[in-house]
Amino acid sequence: MVPEIDDATRVQLEAAAFRRLVAHLRERTDVQNIDLMNLAGFCRNCLSKWYRAAAEERGVDLDYEAAREIVYGMPYEDFKRLHQREATAEQKAAFEQNKPRD
């Protein structure tokens, strides 16, 4: 049974869970975005886009690259250089099979 939680506490809990997710993804640089997309249907870039959209909804001027830096913990180009590997043929095939169809 889910306890009744007031809105302010709910927002605080959601924010804490989001911060923990971002911290976890920053720690797990071995997990590639394509793996996240293939397994969960979202990745660090998705979180960045959602963060930017939330900022925009609240009138906060935040561009995509700034949102990426918030999620990645560094500029995206630095993350790519330090941690991103070329996707394997298997990863690419899985992505093509699982990507959303518009």
Domain residue ranges in the chain = 7-93
What value does the mean pLDDT take over residues 70-98? Answer: 95
Q: What is the DSSP letter of 30?
A: T
Q: What is the pTM of this model?
A: 0.88
Phi, psi of 38 (to 5 degrees): -65, -35
Q: For residue 84, which amino acid is it?
A: Q
For residue range 9-20, what is the model confidence (pLDDT) as tens digits? 999 999 999 999
The CATH label, of 1.10.3340.10, 3.40.50.300, 3.90.180.10, 3.90.700.10, for the domain at 7-93 is 1.10.3340.10
pLDDT score of 98: 83
Asked which of 15-19, 54-58, 94-98 is least confident by mean pLDDT, the reply is 94-98
Q: For residue 26, give both structure tokens.
A: 């920053």
Tell me if residue 54 falls in helix, strand or coil: helix
Question: Is the per-residue pLDDT at 29 higher than 90?
Answer: yes
Give the integer Cα–Cα distance in Å for 97 and 46: 18
